[in-house]
Amino acid sequence: MQSFNKTIEHVPVLISDFKKLFPKISGVWVDGTFGFGSYSNYLLEAGAKKLIAIDLDPDVKKHINDLNTKWPNKIDFYISNFIEMKKIIKNLEINHIDGVFLDIGVSSMQLDKSIRGFSFRNDGPLDMRMSRNGPTASDFVNNAEEKLIAEVIFKYGEEARSKIIAKRIVENRKKFKIDTTYKLSKIIEETPGIKTGIKKHPATKSFQAIRVAINNELNNLVLGLYYAYDVLKVGGYFAIITFHSLEDRIVKRFFNQVFIHNDPLSDLKKFGGEGTPLFEKINKKPIIASEKEIQINPRSRSAKLRVVRKLSNKSLLLDQKKLGLPQVSNRLRDFQCA
Ligand SMILES: C[S@@+](CC[C@H](N)C(=O)[O-])C[C@H]1O[C@@H](n2cnc3c(N)ncnc32)[C@H](O)[C@@H]1O
């Protein structure tokens, strides 16, 4: 039980707010981003009859084993992408999902291990794959065209110096292979005009962009939202934590949808409150971390929790553009691992 104790010692972002919103739950829940399993553990404590837990990262297996010991026969676990949730649920012959929880992004387990290559704070191989499968961040920076690198850094990192960073990456990779997090962060740090704030490392935005790109994070998010809506019963809850503005914008727009003349992707406000909303908002504004939580866990600073209840049983058509998903060249597909 040693490592399970470690699992519950890990304090996940915004969990005390989540507990206040959900002191008791029932039925079958999906945790699509298992990580350390702290939220899964809470969902079972709060009364979930069954839990379908999913994570892309094979490294979470040890945490699921620990949780299985505590909650025998309660958890169905899959090393998979949460965009597979519909198939998984169908195979389990479950018809009603009472709640879906997603805690998007990387875990501290991934960020803090230098070998996983996510962080410019610890030198390690330039990897960044959540699934540990397919092309790495190093494959991307050493082989992608300069234009694609610039596009990714601009659209997924909102980095104003994207073009010059991409140029410097391409110049440097002619001299040596950019295969460590240190080498990449050094190139970015030394880019003329790059902002070197005290709070934010100059490589923050570029590292985020490359991670989002190779793990296909925003496309997965959009598909995850659609599948979660699809599998939930009417009256079921959907709670989601995001960590940056691109993610939150997509979630906010998705939750704001209403059906008007069978057009499911309109913003309620634009129509003066007419139409049938897809969701009832449980919290009108996103929940953010308190100063106390930010002090204990600085990563929680950018977290936003949104919770809704499904109201409609109409089917939705996928429309990525209206959700604000940045459109990036298809050539990125060659460098994506999930
Ligand atoms: C912020 S952590 C979740 C922490 C977790 N809520 C807890 O209580 O410990 C995010 C996790 O989601 C996983 N993940 C990210 N994108 C995913 C996806 N598309 N499908 C499945 N898992 C994903 C990551 O591998 C990581 O383990």
pLDDT in tens, 25-58: 999 999 999 999 999 999 999 999 999 999 999 9
Ligand 1 midpoint to CA 55 (Å):
6
- Considering the domain architecture, whether residues 185 and 230 belong to the same structural domain is answered as no
- Considering the domain architecture, whether residues 103 and 221 belong to the same structural domain is answered as yes
pLDDT digits (tens, 9 = 90+) for 118-160: 999 999 999 999 999 999 999 999 999 999 999 999 999 999 9
Question: Average pLDDT in the 65-72 region?
Answer: 95
In a domain, residue 332? The reply is no
Residue-level pLDDT at 6:
43
In a domain, residue 329? The reply is no
In a domain, residue 242? The reply is yes
Of the residues 214, 237, 270, the one at which a domain ends: 214
Residue-level pLDDT at 274:
60
Question: Average pLDDT in the 200-228 region?
Answer: 95
In a domain, residue 330? The reply is no
- Considering the domain architecture, whether residues 207 and 229 belong to the same structural domain is answered as no
Residue 213, CB-side half-sphere exposure with 13 Å CA sphere: 35
- Written as six digits, the tokens of 144 are 């992608």
Report the C-alpha gap between 118 and 132 in whole angstroms: 12
Has residue 59 got a pLDDT over 80? yes
Report the C-alpha gap between 108 and 83 in whole angstroms: 22
Query: In the structure, which protein residues have their CB atom closer than 6 angstroms to any atom of ligand 1?
Result: 12, 32-33, 35-39, 54-57, 60, 81-82, 103, 105, 107, 130, 220
Residue-level pLDDT at 266:
52
Of the residues 214, 239, 266, the one at which a domain ends: 214
pLDDT digits (tens, 9 = 90+) for 96-122: 899 999 999 899 889 989 999 999 999
Has residue 272 got a pLDDT over 70? no
25: domain CATH number is 3.40.50.150
* Ligand 1 atom showing the smallest separation from residue 34 Cα: 5
Residue-level pLDDT at 257:
81
Parent domain of 88:
2-108+217-323
Do 295 and 215 touch, CB atoms closer than 8 A? Answer: no
Of the residues 187, 214, 241, the one at which a domain ends: 214
Report the nearest-CA residue for atom 9 of ligand 1. 36
Identify which of 163-177, 269-283, 306-320 has the greatest average pLDDT: 163-177
In a domain, residue 333? The reply is no
* Ligand 1 atom showing the smallest separation from residue 12 Cα: 8
Report the nearest-CA residue for atom 5 of ligand 1. 35
- Considering the domain architecture, whether residues 158 and 227 belong to the same structural domain is answered as no
Share of the chain above pLDDT 90, in %: 79
Report the C-alpha gap between 191 and 194 in whole angstroms: 6
How many domains in the chain?
2
- Considering the domain architecture, whether residues 93 and 225 belong to the same structural domain is answered as yes
* Ligand 1 atom showing the smallest separation from residue 216 Cα: 19
Pocket test for ligand 1, best of 16, 33, 247 (most atoms within 8 A of CB): 33
